[in-house]
A and B are shown apart, each in its own frame.
Chain A
């Protein structure tokens, strides 16, 4: 079963929720929708499920127009951010409910429920009520309900947001395995770039109701099509510096100069925006051609075993994503190093001209 959205638009009270979205989902694919809150992820999922009708555009399933077909007549499942289970049914009955509503035989139901519970490791809780379970177990139950009925499309609307970090990693890991042998279209909405990277498959970047970029996750990550995509698909957002390129060198804000390398030489003179991922900036030079910039520390955010170091000079601000815990004083003067071959180059309108060179792929670490 393949799903296609053709120029789908949804407007509510004169406001675009989804604006001219076209997408194609292959059977058996795992698709991530990445975007900030209110970017239209949920609206897009509702259109795919048939919970809402698009104002214009068509939804096709296997080439058949299903735009007007209601959700009850499509074969979809959905898992939500909240843990949605029938409150006074046991876990077993909850998982069995979609099959019971489809009038399946009790032996088949039993077999399917046991299989699904097994996959999601909730076999020992089958006789409990949802409220007697932990959040993770409740969400596993909700996922089991979605998986038990062999839907054509399974939609996950930020299902792991309300879970703690450890459970999130665990479930995320299992998700890929659960879908490995299925012929279902899985769609997974998230606000977190790291989650998209961990889940793989394809990633679609949404922003203000528009699809900005869509493609295999790794490719989308490595060549963001414009500055918005680059900013959305990195946490913290990619650093952008405006600069001028002459025949021999690049100048950042009339201040910092560095000679062109072979990749940049091909682009020609002019004004560009340069993007550099926070994780590629470092405190020590790693390559011979690294650009040294003197900056002042503004803030060092420590998150777990990582540090987000916010620095500035007179012209621009940068964020460094460093592993390990580093402490700095405000206004401390330090030097940072920019690997010039890791620069993404965007034109004045923010469109990607050249993605960062991937010649030292071994150095890449997330």
Chain B
């Protein structure tokens, strides 16, 4: 039997299309729209082409926060990924101990971002914060409000405290998925612990690590709340990252055009770097 050709199936795709349009395409296109016009009021607008893009790309404020942003995300990945793997390797595989570990690890993940900021803001104060007070009484001059290095250290510490658990949990589940026979085979081969890690555990963890690296990169690249709560991006501009610069520009100065261009570039950077990570980590996967 020959079925008559109809377009009815397209109607079934329509709800999804509408949903995606409202959630992603329309907001994004609005920003694109802003980024290529100079808007004075509802009726006065001029098409400016790529002018805002050129302006943004030459803005030194932006260059500075971009560099800071890359250093921050790089540090986050360099600390959290190995630390997460280490924590996962040391966790007990079964028994009541593993449940306790999982619960403790999951706790930081449940704390809202601005609460994390507030916790560490108070915790790190030299006068009433246990952490700041302890450091200072040990003779270490620690003051995140005055010293850029201390502010950086505190923001990094916050992020590590907050998100290493995620990497650890991902790796833990990855490790549990390795059949026992692999370890047995390695023991029979007289492989060292390092060889077991390098040739069995790490390759088997690759997929969860890929997710971990991407999530931590994207998330840390968009960091806003923690430094904002801690010092408002200071001292000076030392902890002002991209999203804070963008927010100042968009809702502080109300420069919608440049902010739109900035948003698009910001988005493309995240996309590009994520793609680079993904490609680098999967390039020799075979088929």
Contacts and interface: CB of A to CB of B under 8 A. Distances in A.
Q: Answer yes or no: are A and B bound together in one complex.
A: yes
Interface of A: 49, 51, 71-72, 76-78, 80-82, 84, 86-89, 97-98, 101-102, 128-129, 131-132, 145
B200 A86 contact: yes
B199 A84 contact: no
Given A86-B203, A87-B203, A131-B286, A71 B195 contact: no
A76 B188 contact: yes
Nearest to A79: B185
B187 A86 contact: no
Contacts, number: 50
B181 A77 contact: no
Given A101-B190, A131-B286, A132-B286, A78 B203 contact: no
Nearest to B200: A86
B190 A84 contact: no
Interface in B189-209: 189-191, 195, 199-200, 203-204
Given A84-B181, A129-B286, A132-B287, A78 B199 contact: no
Contacts of A78: 184-185, 188
A83 to B, nearest CB: 9
B283 to A, nearest CB: 12
B181 A72 contact: no
A101 B185 contact: no
B203 A88 contact: yes
A86 B184 CA distance: 12
A112 B287 CA distance: 29
* Chief secondary structure at chain B's binding surface: helix
Interface string B171-193: 00000000101101101111100
Given A80-B181, A88-B199, A88-B203, A98 B286 contact: no
A84 B181 CA distance: 7
Contacts of A82: 179, 181
Contacts of B190: 72, 98, 101-102
Contact of A84 (B182, B284, B286, B287): B182
Nearest 4 CB-CB pairings of A with B: A88-B203, A87-B203, A80-B181, A132-B286
A97 B204 contact: no
Contact of B189 (A51, A101, A128): A101
Nearest to B182: A84
Contacts of B189: 97-98, 101, 145
A338 B190 CA distance: 56
B204 to A, nearest CB: 6
22 contacts: A51-B187, A72-B187, A72-B190, A76-B188, A78-B185, A80-B184, A81-B181, A82-B179, A82-B181, A84-B179, A84-B181, A84-B182, A87-B203, A88-B199, A89-B199, A98-B190, A101-B189, A101-B195, A102-B190, A128-B286, A129-B286, A145-B189
A80 B187 contact: no
Contacts of A80: 181, 184-185
B195 to A, nearest CB: 7
Residue from A49, A88, A145 whose CB has the most chain B CB atoms within 10 Å = A88
Contacts of A81: 181
A78 B191 CA distance: 14
Interface in B145-188: 179, 181-182, 184-185, 187-188
Contacts of B204: 87
Nearest to B192: A101
A51 B184 contact: yes
A174 B209 CA distance: 40
A355 B77 CA distance: 72
Contacts of A132: 286-287
Interface in B272-287: 284, 286-287
Nearest to A73: B190
Nearest to A87: B203
A96 to B, nearest CB: 11
